[in-house]
Copies of this chain bind each other. A is one copy, B any other.
Amino acid sequence: MKNIAIVGLGLMGGSFAKAFIKYTNNNIFVYDIDKKSLEDGKNFGIREILNLEDLSKMDLTIICLNPNIIMNFVKENHKYFKNTVMDIAGVKNEVYPLIKSFESEGSFIYKSIHPMAGREIYGFKSSIDDLYKDASMIYVDELNEEEVFLFKSIGFSKFVKASCEVHDKMISFTSQLCHVISNAYILNDKSLNYDGFAAGSLKDMTRVAKINEKLWSELFLENRKFLLEDIDILIDNLKNIKNCLIYNDRKSLEDILLKGSNIRKKMW
């Protein structure tokens, strides 16, 4: 039985806490500045960390905050870190080197992870013990057998190692661009007149337009190099389709759609 601390009891941290309590027999401690979530958490068996010095008693600490808040938290509290400390930041390029720099002082081992799961609703109230069921875990630093077992026990079914650079580059396309497009799509005067005119595609296309604007603005801006590249690729693709429409070029349009269709069939 280990002591696991979750810092930040939002959607991701709350789901970790609920899942560890349901599926493992570890002691789960939580630090959060939101007292309401902590009170709610107690009903699930979560124990509160009242004094940040107690982080030094933890076998594993997982920091589940927005990237900038992770960095501030680590700057102020790394002196209490012991054993293994993980962060779940959705963009690694700024967070990773910062925490790594404190690791060299020798009091803790840093392992950066990114659980590929989420919901379009937020906060501890939206957290669920099965958020990570069948999810993929991206990890930057080698996980040991015990850690893999821990994550598997709460549902993770795939583990992918990636450098910070590869992580950020791929996440731009597999997640961030979806959120950008979904939002850009909905900003059309027709949106609020959709009722009765839509089948499933509009609903799916715009699902993640429901977004935590503060978290995602931060993620987009910290990853803007890759995200701008992906937005430009998409705009170029749209211009190609536009040209087919403008010049009534059915053959080229069919070729484009067939190419996209064939790629998608190889994916799912």
- Residues A181-228 near B (CB distance < 8 A): 181-188, 190-211, 213-214, 216-218, 220-221, 224, 227-228
A230 on the B face (CB < 8 A): yes
Q: A170-B193, A177-B185 are in contact. Are A199 and B116 (CB under 8 A)?
A: yes
Interface bin, chain A: 35 or more
A238 on the B face (CB < 8 A): yes
Chain B positions within 8 Å of A224 at CB level: 245-246, 248
Q: Are B209 and A263 in contact (CB under 8 A)?
A: yes
Q: Are A210 and B264 in contact (CB under 8 A)?
A: yes
Segment from A32-40, A81-89, A254-262 that makes contact with B? A254-262
Contact with B along A222-242 (1 / 0, CB 8 A): 001001101111110111011
How distant is A266 from chain B, measured CB to nearest CB, in Å? 6
- Residues A130-182 near B (CB distance < 8 A): 135-136, 138, 158-160, 162, 167, 169-171, 173-175, 177-182
Give CA–CA (A260, B213) in the complex, Å.
10
Chain B positions within 8 Å of A265 at CB level: 210
Q: Are A136 and B197 in contact (CB under 8 A)?
A: yes
Q: Are B187 and A174 in contact (CB under 8 A)?
A: no
Give CA–CA (A44, B230) in the complex, Å.
48
Q: A188-B230, A238-B184 are in contact. Are A160 and B197 (CB under 8 A)?
A: yes
Give CA–CA (A239, B167) in the complex, Å.
25
Partner of A170, one of B180, B197, B220: B197
Chain B positions within 8 Å of A231 at CB level: 238, 241-242, 245
Q: A193-B170, A201-B178, A238-B234 are in contact. Are A245 and B228 (CB under 8 A)?
A: yes
Give CA–CA (A145, B242) in the complex, Å.
42
Give CA–CA (A195, B237) in the complex, Å.
22
Give CA–CA (A224, B261) in the complex, Å.
21
Q: Are B234 and A184 in contact (CB under 8 A)?
A: yes
Give CA–CA (A199, B171) in the complex, Å.
10
Chain B positions within 8 Å of A206 at CB level: 264, 267
Chain B positions within 8 Å of A220 at CB level: 241, 244-245, 253
How distant is A217 from chain B, measured CB to nearest CB, in Å? 4
What would 9 A/B residue contacts be, using CB atoms closer than 8 Å?
A173-B190, A173-B191, A174-B201, A178-B201, A181-B181, A190-B230, A206-B267, A220-B244, A228-B242
Chain A residues in the interface with B (C-beta under 8 A): 116-118, 135-136, 138, 158-160, 162, 167, 169-171, 173-175, 177-188, 190-211, 213-214, 216-218, 220-221, 224, 227-228, 230-235, 237-239, 241-242, 244-246, 248, 250, 253-261, 263-268
